[in-house]
Chain A
Amino acid sequence: MNEAVLVLEQVRTPMAGSPHVLDVDLRIAAGEFVALVGPSRSGKSLVIELAAGLVRPEAGRVVLLGHEWNDTPESEQTPVRLRVGTVLQQPGLLSNMTVFNNVLLPLRYHRGAMSDRDRAQAVMAELERLGLSALRDRFPAELNHGEVRRAAIARALMLDPEVLLLDDPVAGLDAELVLVLKRHLEERRAHHAMTVVAALRAPSPFIEAVDRLLVLRDGRVVADGTREAVVGVVPESLRMYVA
């Protein structure tokens, strides 16, 4: 098995808005495409936030790309963050920047040596692949939910991350765009080893692309394995999330 890029070791932490406590112990190997599925308030978003180092667990440790978040002060987190692309439930596109400038920002900030032309080309190529090139000059307030999400995913991919953390990447996308996104991530992974961890709220064709499914309920992993393996073991009430 490949080396683990994300480890949540005996992690326990309260879940906001739920009487349950997230209690997970999991390892995600380099290059894996993992989907976290389950009903609302099952702890999927919290796992993404823990992995991104935004939440410190009450107990246990979270290690991403060999760095334990608890031991990494804020000032030393940048090198890790540059290797990780994250899109949260609220994607946080900068409201005073156009789609183009939002997607360009990580390149302009971190890749000073790149020429303006190369950066612009890279951004346009990414926008093109995600069907956003016509919206390049729009501001986030002028976009619909799915467009905002795709722009945020494009931004998260600009630095060629080794790990991509996505919270509800298909929210607001129609069936065709889900397939566009799925194909795009598959192409990316074919060219460049990238671990993807995605939290999914509803059944989606996106799930066909994943290597491994983690089914969560009330803060616990109730099934873990390939889609075929998980379908056979999840309780009936959760089967809709993996079907």
Chain B
Amino acid sequence: MIEWVGRKTIAGYTYLASLATLFTQAVLDLVLPTQQGRRDTLWVLIRQILFTGVDALPVTTVIALLLGIIIVTQAGTQLPRLGAGGLVGGIIVVTVVRELGPLITAFIVVGRSGTAIATELGNMSVTREVVALRLMGISISRFVIMPRMVGMVLSMLCLTLYFDVVAVLGGYLVADVQLTIPFYAFVESITKALSTTDVLMTAIKGLSFGSAVAAICCYHGLAVRSSFTEVPQQTTRAMINSFVLCLLIDVVVTVPLYL
């Protein structure tokens, strides 16, 4: 039993170290300028932003609106009944902006783009495209990982902020019929409750979740060795591990605020 726990712990640390190495190399590739393959890398980055960010707008809008309706309706109808109408803004800011906005956006991105990256890189590994790139002297980190990571981080950050706005304002507009609070009072309550810390928190989470998801999905995609059956296995692992690591990061970022 102890041996098993030890083995799992070492495997966990090794896994996190591998992700950190992959991430660090991608950051180095980003900050250390080179003329090599700039245009190709930029093209991969643009495609990643289009796919992860722009193409995800419709589904993000729908989910943000639905979540917004639920939370704004609950907070806007229940709290005034309890005489805590003044807390509506605070509750919505804490729930949507600090917590659910970044988390649900991360889940959307994992489901849409994270799995797509893991599958794409997995297939590239099986068909030896990754080896072919290496043989051509093309850096896998610079050409494959870095643009996908940067694209995902930027997209995640923008989608998170977009999600927050749509969920709060859109949620109010759609749930308007049920609320007793007028719109101007609702907006005032939100703006009063919204601090720089909240915006910073949502941005930090967006950036961290984006980095974690991109690193995990690239890692698992490239971990595929020789068979197409490994691709869905690694994709599933990438998805589950992304969810777990996002929640873990959420705890690490959120808890110190309340200590």
**Residues of chain B whose beta carbon lies under 8 Å from any beta carbon of chain A:** 35-40, 123-124, 127-139, 143
Contact = CB atoms under 8 A, between A and B. Distances in A.
A152 B35 CA distance: 25
A224 B38 CA distance: 45
Given A88-B132, A91-B132, A92-B132, A109 B127 contact: no
Contact of B135 (A79, A81, A94, A112): A81
Contacts of B133: 92, 94
A155 interface: yes
Interface string A64-104: 00000000000001110110101010111111000000000
B243 to A, nearest CB: 28
Contacts of B137: 77-79, 81-82, 106, 109-110
B127 A92 contact: yes
B143 A94 contact: no
A105 B139 CA distance: 13
A93 B36 contact: no
Nearest to B135: A86
A106 B143 CA distance: 12
Contacts of A94: 124, 129, 132-133
B138 A95 contact: no
A90 B40 contact: no
Contact of B39 (A77, A84, A108): A108
B35 A112 contact: yes
Q: Which of B37, B130, B135, B143 has the most CB of A within 10 A?
A: B135
Nearest to A158: B136
Contacts of B36: 109-110, 112
A84 B132 CA distance: 12
Contacts of A79: 137
A134 interface: no
A90 B127 contact: yes
Given A90-B127, A108-B37, A108-B39, A78 B132 contact: no
A155 B136 CA distance: 9
A155 B36 CA distance: 17
Given A81-B136, A81-B137, A86-B135, A109 B40 contact: yes
B131 A109 contact: no
Interface size class of A (residues with CB under 8 A): 20 to 34
A109 B129 contact: no
B149 to A, nearest CB: 18
Given A109-B36, A155-B136, 10 more contacts: A54-B134, A78-B137, A84-B135, A88-B132, A90-B128, A91-B128, A92-B128, A93-B132, A106-B136, A112-B39
A123 interface: no
Contacts of A95: 123-124, 127, 129
Nearest to A91: B132
Nearest to B137: A81
Given A86-B135, A92-B127, A93-B132, A109 B35 contact: no
A79 B133 CA distance: 14
Contacts of A77: 137
Contact of B129 (A52, A82, A93, A106): A93
Interface in A39-82: 52, 54, 77-79, 81-82
B119 to A, nearest CB: 12
A54 B135 CA distance: 9
Q: Which of B37, B123, B132 has the most CB of A within 10 A?
A: B132
Given A91-B132, A108-B37, A78 B139 contact: yes
B180 to A, nearest CB: 54
Interface string A152-181: 100100000000000000000000000000
A110 B247 CA distance: 41
Contacts of B131: 54, 88, 92
Contacts of A78: 137, 139
Contacts of A105: 40, 136, 138
Nearest to B136: A106
Nearest to A88: B128
Contact of B38 (A84, A88, A91, A112): A112
B138 A92 contact: no
A93 B135 CA distance: 12
Nearest to A106: B136
